Structure 1
């Protein structure tokens, strides 16, 4: 069963294309994380927040990543990291065209 991880945290920028340029190395590193199927990067400049939605193959991978990523973000000076893990209801998600499997 896949597991979804939702993470958000205070973020001052950069945004958009500048964020993409600054975070390419981090994105490439995240792509190599054990159990990761995909990640959607999120940003809300008006609220000064960033984060991501991740899909992992299993609960232990999602939990391990959340622990590691929280420590990494705090090392970057992020004061508070919100992280939640959810089991994915595969049957209902497929009805609504969710990308719940690796392509």
Structure 2
């Protein structure tokens, strides 16, 4: 059963295209994480927040990534990091066309 990881934090920017240019290397490195399936990057310029929704193959993979990512964010001086892990309900997610596998 796949697991969702939700991470959000206060973020001063950059946003939009500048965010893409700044974090492309990190995005590529995420693809190599153990058990990683996909990520949706989130950003809200008005509330100065950013983060992501990730899907991992196991809870252990999500926990390991959250620990590493939290340390990395703190290394960038980011505080107030919130991370939550959820089990995905496969039947309902499939009914609503949610992708739960690598494509």
> TM over 0.5: same fold?
yes
Give the count of matched residue pairs.
Answer: 103
2:62 corresponds to:
62
TM-score, with length taken from structure 1: 0.98
Superposition deviation, residue 75 in structure 1: 0.7
What's the counterpart of residue 49 of structure 1? 49
Does the 8 Å contact 1:74/1:80 carry over to 2? Answer: no
Is 2:37 the partner of 1:31?
no
1:4 corresponds to which residue?
4
Structure 1 gap segments, 5+ residues each:
none
Shift of 1:6: 0.3
CA distance in 2 between counterparts of 1:80 and 1:32 reads 26
Whole-Å separation in 2 of the counterparts to 1:95 and 1:74: 38
Q: 1:101: how far off?
A: 1.2
What runs of 5+ residues in structure 2 fail to find an aligned partner? none
CA distance in 1, matches of 2:36, 2:65: 9
SS in 2 for 1:26: helix
CA distance in 2: counterparts of 1:15 and 1:6, whole angstroms: 19
CA–CA distance in 1 between the matches of 2:91 and 2:13? 37
